[in-house]
Structure 1
Amino acid sequence: MSTALNIYDPSAKAEAGPSSLAGLTRAQMRDAMISAGVEDRKAKMRAEQAWRWIYHHGARDFDMMTNIAKDQRSVLAEQFTLDRPEIVERLVSVDGTRKYLIRLAPGVECETVFIPDVGRAGALCVSSQVGCTLNCTFCHTGTQPLVRNLTAQEIAAQVMAARDDLEEWPTSNENRQITNIVFMGMGEPLYNLDAVSDAIDIISDGDGMAIGRRRMTVSTSGVVPKIKELGERTNAMLAISLHATNDDLRDVLVPLNKKYPIVELMEAIKSYPSLGNSNRVTFEYVMLKGVNDTPAEARALVKLLKGIPSKINLIPFNPWPNSPYECSDWETIETFAEIVNRAGYASPIRTPRGRDIFAACGQLRSESKKLKASERRALQNNG
């Protein structure tokens, strides 16, 4: 049965108690050590020790931190925890995709998706906000009002929670399942750039989770003033949620376009740091039947992207309840892709993943396929 998952309860109050060190930046970790009574001159060293235990080894207990004196571990355990956000629901698709409903605070929840066989091994799609303000008409997330920005700690902790579930500690360069991070979950990352930038610093740190910056992609619907700053601060790969080649249509599909029209968006993209053949922009283009999928629009897309090192991801529309759109026919998508390919652009057709658990692109929101534990067991036994 389908039910609504409670993403936000405005009456909920934060629980009193020790705060978690999991997800803190290096500076925050040092400040935490000082607050625990560590001398200033030793705080940096102690923070570095804790950092490696938390982010390299995935420590869940201070007693694991054997290079920290036992009495100091006791002090830390009294004042802090190593808790991650709670995974309140974990759904696994028939194709191996995993969707997590993660409780970040009382009444505040987001969705995070692990997609196997993407990049070197697998990609984790993280959220930067609970809800969204952009109201893109093809996107289910856009139908949910913005609750709030996530902190850097909450963003980084999504990665930690997924690695817990995948049993991917300690960090290793071999047989890793999460090799790529994509900021394509709930929310517009560039409206929360400070937290996104700090989270990228945490996730990419070589003494911790060590996922390279060039293996992180930040997708924006086109917050023009922040695009160059994103590159300067993070050195992450850039993705643009485009979906139309003219302002009239994009104003409908991506209402942010009314504020930052296509010509301004393209100029901002051209200024992205280190743009080149080894650092191409990914343009996301969802295929909507009878809306943006004609050969003429494929040719217009080629013309629009001239001179920009680009890759175009063609995304078959993923349906959601009461959506006003349908997915383009497969033959139509292939014809579109062929025109773009002939012009010299890579234009892979993204295979829909996790549709059966509402984990596919554009489907994240406050609704999921939610079954009672007894019903899940019955399905597994019958499967």
Structure 2
Amino acid sequence: MTGNANNLADGAEGDMESPLADVSGARLTIVTDAWHPQVNGVVRSIETTNRELEKLGVTVSLITPQRFRSVPMPTYPEIRLSLTTPRKLGRMIAAERPDYLHIATEGPLGILARNWALKHGMAFSTSYHTRFPEYVAERLPVPIGWLYGFIRWFHNRGGACMVATESLRRELSEKGLRNLQIWSRGIDTALFHPRPREETPFGLARPIFMTVGRVAVEKNLPAFLDLDLPGSKVVVGDGPAREELAARYPGVTFTGVKFGEDLARAYAQADVFVFPSRTDTFGNTILEALASGVPVAAYPVTGPVDIIPQGSGAGALDEDLRAACLAALPQSREAARALAETFSWASATQQFMANVVAAKARKKRRQRLAEARGRQFS
């Protein structure tokens, strides 16, 4: 499968024979604008990766919005924007004495961290978790070309920009992004696993078509909720569009957000997991559903096409989402679980750390080349 977590950091140009041979004892600082109380794939990916990094002997420090005053993001108040100064953030990074710096998001903290690193000659890596240009364009009247210009500005000065899938890497490369490296995702197969199915889960008639995630405009939920499907529809999650959608679709069950065992039990009661988003860069919820033994229906876009191979028997991809839902319904719960088991957080974290190490190596290589040119023309 393209972009599977078992393939280590493609293109990690070789200043080192074994990128992970000596990371035990290394200090890594991660700067992120996405953190609790947000519940999304970015936060979950960072948290899980941090736990795996500890197993590798890496000491991780986090700089998150919880350490600053903040204001609600316009049009999306659930997201808080940190208020700080370049000097204060720089002091925080320097105080951690990091060997490596990773900037996870393109928000206020990410921008300040990027600028500080460039000013002080420190190597850094970045990651592209969300289709930022499309996300902003949904809310603000900003030309998408300008937004992709910002994305190039933000990511191209780093030593590695991590993306979750091969198809996204190709897409962003065509838009002018450089140093793109794969950082796949994993799944907790101990928490998310098949369970006995109730006859009427949530008090509803089967089949159960379920989606899980942030209830927001960019998730394209009406594409699912408008479908004429047998049985019942369930939306697990919360967000700024929940009240409006619950009023607009009174026949749909909105459970609110669930965590841990409650979430895992909910997944396992679905007959089909529906992923209507066209803008996610991966889709962690797809893996959670597959691990729960639930076939997936989705559009054939970045994320689903990278996770669900054609003919896997674990899901159906179609530009007609209703057709995908109906095609996924009879598919194999065993095949769904088997596919999820090929995604490992341990391997994904090795990818991540290999990319972080490679970003620093590229910085050193560029410095040596610049010095060599300077001597040549001096």
TM-score by length of 1: 0.31
Instruction: Using CA pairs under 8 Å that are at least 6 residues apart, name the structure with larger relative contact order, 1 or 2.
Output: 2
